[in-house]
Structure 1
Amino acid sequence: MLKIFITATDTDAGKTYFAQILTAALVKKDYQVAVFKPISAGCALKHTAQGEILVNEDAQLLLQQANCGQGISEINPIAFEQPIAPHIAAALMSVDIKLADINAGYDSVIARACDIVITEGAGGWRLPLGKGKFLSEFVQQTKQQVILVVNMKLGCLNHAVLTYEAIVADGLDCIGWVANCAEPMNYLTENIAQLKTLIPAPMIAQLGFEIDINKAVSSVDVSSITART
């Protein structure tokens, strides 16, 4: 089973968008793909047959692309209503975000024995969970391979290199990076060329903003990923 974790240079950098595209691309190649978003903040309370649950829009978007029969609560087990840093949302509710709970949720996804599990992080690589813990520790414990989404804007070179270095320093393999070009950037071509020299991992996609996920699939080169299955 291939286990992939998608992180980014900052929040709102395009993790969900890329995770949707990657999931759709792998499903199109007949892989069984499960998804996981361990933590979300910014959810709507919805009424279901099982009662009221908090539903995160990003988790719903991932659910639409996966093909392993998951439910929303399995995909996103830890959810907070307010769109704020998760550790602050947890403190306001007098609860702890525990690595053991995240790992337990991940184990439930792994138990489906799909070909590939794609996990979308929250924020950047060092997302605080509270009490000195970080979401990156979960990635270490579960030995996932990492893809870095770079939000192409002024300052991204520094953010990308620091994030890549942190991933490697944590003993993990960054198997590729993505240039997310949702907003106009001066000298975009030159910045991407520089990142290709600074990050010793393949660029697997250059994304604009294509609303139709199925059309965006052609922007992603999954060959280096599928070679690992």
Structure 2
Amino acid sequence: MGESNAMAARKAFFVTGTDTEVGKTLVSSALLTAANQLGKTTVGMKPVAAGCESVDGQWRNEDALALMASASLELPYEQVNPVALPAAIAPHLAAAQAGRRLSLDRLTGFCQAIMMQRADLTVIEGAGGWRVPLNEREMLSGLASRMQLPVILVVGIRLGCINHAILTAEAIRRDGLPLAGWVANHLSAPDEVAEQNVQTLTSMMPGPLLGEVPWMEAASVETAAQALSLRALLD
């Protein structure tokens, strides 16, 4: 019974965004940090990262490094980011430039290995938005579908965000996955329209608002963590 309860307590989520550069890594890191503060064990993963720098002859991505810094369990970089691509472009194009081919089969295997760490909270961060191609037939969204992971959607609060958020939520649910919640991330100093956008989305999104991350000139994971409520995720 104790092992069953422990297994039930473990949570894993796939984090996606309404677009690229909307704060997926900030929110993912903040989720890990907030869970750490509750005494949970945590692991973060970015299966595919396009846009890496060479460090001692190895490709490293700043988003993956941020997840590593926020997770409570220490893992080798190659396990956190098994596919590191140099070019900061769409993953399938970056893979082609590097002479590689992406596939759901391989990415699923990498994710299953991470799940074997049995952390209380596992956060798997996607790349770009929901419909990001891996190859001519497969999308990165298929990884969340194969793993049957509830999805957390990061909404960058700016002009057009209502349409992008609602369409993304519809696509997630059409793929048979629950929207575990969404996070409003202010990308500029808030004004009345930004607050009205958040209010509109709160009334229309098919999942709870997990938090409203304030605009920051210099991003702070700790500040973002304070803005999030994990009760809806971890209960």
TM-score in terms of structure 1 length:
0.94
**Do residues 66 (structure 1) and 75 (structure 2) align?**
no
Give the secondary structure class of the aligned counterpart of 1:17.
Answer: helix
Give the secondary structure class of the aligned counterpart of 1:109.
Answer: helix
Residue of structure 1 equivalent to 2:60:
55
**Distance in 1 between residues matched to 2:26 and 2:175, nearest whole Å:** 25
**Do residues 38 (structure 1) and 47 (structure 2) align?**
yes
**Do residues 219 (structure 1) and 227 (structure 2) align?**
yes
Residue of structure 1 equivalent to 2:83:
78
Deviations 1:184-204, CA, capped at 9 Å, x for gaps = 355111111110111021111
Q: What are the equivalent positions in structure 2 for 1:82-121 lying under 5 Å apart? A: 82-121=87-126
Q: 1:194 aligns with which of 172, 193, 200?
A: 200
CA RMSD of aligned residues (A): 1.2
TM-score in terms of structure 2 length:
0.92
Q: Aligned-pair distance for 1:213? A: 2.1
Point out 4+ residue stretches in structure 1 off by more than 3 angstroms: none
Give the secondary structure class of the aligned counterpart of 2:100.
Answer: coil
Deviations 1:97-127, CA, capped at 9 Å, x for gaps = 0111101111111111111110111000011
**Distance in 2 between residues matched to 1:6 and 1:67, nearest whole Å:** 18
Structure 1 residue runs of 5 or longer lacking an equivalent are: none
Taking every aligned residue pair, what percent have the same amino acid on both sides? Answer: 33
Structure 2 residue runs of 5 or longer lacking an equivalent are: 1-9
Q: Aligned-pair distance for 1:165? A: 0.1
Q: 1:129 aligns with which of 134, 137, 141?
A: 134
Q: Aligned-pair distance for 1:217? A: 1.9
Deviations 1:15-58, CA, capped at 9 Å, x for gaps = 001011110000110111111101011101111xxxx3210000
- Change in CA separation of 1:212 and 1:14 when aligned onto 2, cut-off 3 Å: closer
Kept in 2, the 8 Å contact 1:25–1:220? The answer is yes
Q: Aligned-pair distance for 1:131? A: 1.8
Q: What are the equivalent positions in structure 2 for 1:118-197 lying under 5 Å apart? A: 118-184=123-189, 186=191, 187-197=193-203
Give the secondary structure class of the aligned counterpart of 2:101.
Answer: coil
Aligned length: 223
